Amino acid sequence: SQQGEEDPQALSIQEGENATMNCSYKTSINNLQWYRQNSGRGLVHLILIRSNEREKHSGRLRVTLDTSKKSSSLLITASRAADTASYFCATGKDSGSARQLTFGSGTQLTVLP
Amino acid sequence: NAGVTQTPKFQVLKTGQSMTLQCAQDMNHNSMYWYRQDPGMGLRLIYYSASEGTTDKGEVPNGYNVSRLNKREFSLRLESAAPSQTSVYFCASSNGPNSYGYTFGSGTRLTVV
């Protein structure tokens, strides 16, 4: 079963606009991560936010986490055509000695030039 | 370049055939993972290896076996391929207890006819 669910499933915006994607999850977590996947490629780690953090920034990315609502958002500011990709949230939870991630089904972002 | 290397990139199998997907990482990571990605399903964990010499089942292990050959290599074997195993397979690695981000390979696109 999937832990995180992204919303919307697809998003289309103009270059220069901001893009916001949301993620909801069901059980307690240690951390939440966002990944990007370009078409035909593997996933690339973007940012990690821990359960005791509320907001984190990395370049044009801003991630928020609300553990009371079990939700997170990813904001990409001043989007570029190169930001076109699928974006996945993943929730992390310890399982013995391994860090396991559970992925959502993703948001397909299209940035139009 | 450092990272996770998967072979082959593409494969077509007939139902009942067997094959092994290879994965190698050169980042000295302790943990390695195999995921499958199906349309609209996100990534689902098949098997993982927390450290050299250990392997554990993930969410969808049926029909698969794995071998952690050494610290660098983690292979996934399909003993008798079925059409339901048509998918894109991703290998990933992480640096164990002090690192949560995963590094992914570029994937193997497998079609079973």
Q: Strands (DSSP E) along chain B, which ranges?
A: 4-7, 10-13, 19-25, 31-38, 42-49, 56-57, 64-68, 74-78, 87-94, 103-104, 108-112
pLDDT tens digits, one per residue of A18-27: 999 999 999 8
Read off the tokens for A45: 């780690």
List of chain A residues whose C-beta atoms are within 8 Å of the C-beta of residue B102 = 35, 43, 45, 101
Model confidence band, residue B98 (pLDDT cutoffs 50, 70, 90): very low
Residue A1, pLDDT above cutoff 50: no
pLDDT tens per residue across span A44-101: 999 999 889 999 999 999 999 999 999 999 999 999 999 999 999 998 776 554 567 8
Query: How many CB atoms are closer than 10 A to CB B42?
Result: 22
Q: Which residue of A has its CA nearest to B59?
A: A1
Contact assessment for residue A67 and residue A58, using Cβ atoms and an 8 Å cutoff: no
Rounded distance between C-alpha atoms, residue A43 and residue A102, angstroms = 13
User: Which single residue is written with the structure tokens 């339901």?
Assistant: B84
Residues in chain B within 8 Å Cβ distance of A35: 102
Q: Is the pLDDT of residue A3 over 90?
A: no
B9 in contact with A at a CB cutoff of 8 Å?
A: no
SS3 state at B50:
coil
Q: What is the predicted pLDDT for the residue at A96?
A: 54
Of A29, A33, A24, A28, residue with least CA distance to A4: A24
Contacts of residue B98, defined as CB under 8 A and 6 or more positions apart, other chains included, come to none
**A32 touching B, CB under 8 A?**
no
What DSSP state is assigned to residue B45? Answer: E
* CB pair distance less than 8 Å for A103 and B35: yes
Report the 10 Å Cβ neighbour count for A33. 25
What is the rounded radius of gyration, in angstroms, for the C-alpha atoms of chain A?
14
What's residue B85's pLDDT? 97
Under the banding of pLDDT at 50, 70 and 90, the label for residue A31 is confident
Average pLDDT across chain B, whole number: 92
Cis peptide before B61 (omega within 30 of 0): no
Nearest-CB residue to B106 (from A41, A88, A96): A41
Q: Which of A42, A48, A104 sits opposite B107 (nearest CB)?
A: A42
Q: Which residues 46-85 in chain A show a CB within 8 A of chain B?
A: 48
Task: State the SS3 of chain A.
Answer: CCCCEEECCEEEEECCCCEEEEEECCCCCCEEEEEEECCCCCEEEEEEEECCCCEEEECCEEEEEECCCCEEEEEECCCCHHHCEEEEEEEEEEECCEEEEEECCCEEEEEEC
* Chain A residues within an 8 Å CB radius of B35: 103
Which residues of chain B make contact with A25, given a CB cutoff of 8 A?
A: none
